[in-house]
Amino acid sequence: MSHPLSHLGVLHTALSLVPLVAGIYGFIRHRAIDPATRSGKVYLLGLVLSVATSFTVSSTGGLNPGHAFGVVILLIAFGGVLVPRLGFLGRLRPYLATFALSFTFLLSLVPGTNETLTRLPPAHPLAQAPLAPVVQGTLLVWLVLFVIGFALQCWHIRAQSHGARQLQRAG
């Protein structure tokens, strides 16, 4: 049987939906989570609030590996924001920034998928444990979609930079 959510758990869950929605919007509208856009800013703020509120909820009563996982996600996200400012990375900058922010989206799906599948439907959750086959299968689907999506993002970045170089040569 699933564990009921506390009031803080409900708040955390609601705040965790913000980066999910903003990330999906960013992928559709801008083909990436771009911190220069409103959706990118909302994504990052939602991510920070989601991780911060995760510290208020714990099934073990204290800090757990999930909290450390959230901190790692934040570090990767802020690395993705910082990368474009690192000139020594040259042409890799847009690829690394896009990878980092897209990867944080994927990583955020791990606890979300686990919590959703082990809690819903409330009477008989789809998964009995985080390592249940349905959880692992769903995470594998997310990973495959991430790889395909990142490949498409790379193709888009390359096409944009190639077009910009051609305009420079013509001008």
> Which one, of 49, 137, 146, 60, lies nearest residue 107 by Cα?
146
pLDDT at 1: 44
pLDDT at 62: 73
pLDDT at 162: 76
CA separation for the pair 3, 118 (Å, rounded): 9
Q: What is the pTM of this model?
A: 0.90
CA separation for the pair 139, 119 (Å, rounded): 16
> Which one, of 132, 133, 114, lies nearest residue 59 by Cα?
114
Mean pLDDT, contiguous 10-residue spans, the chain (171 residues): 72 94 97 97 97 83 83 97 97 97 98 92 91 97 98 96 72 62
pLDDT at 59: 66
CA separation for the pair 123, 102 (Å, rounded): 34
CA separation for the pair 17, 11 (Å, rounded): 10
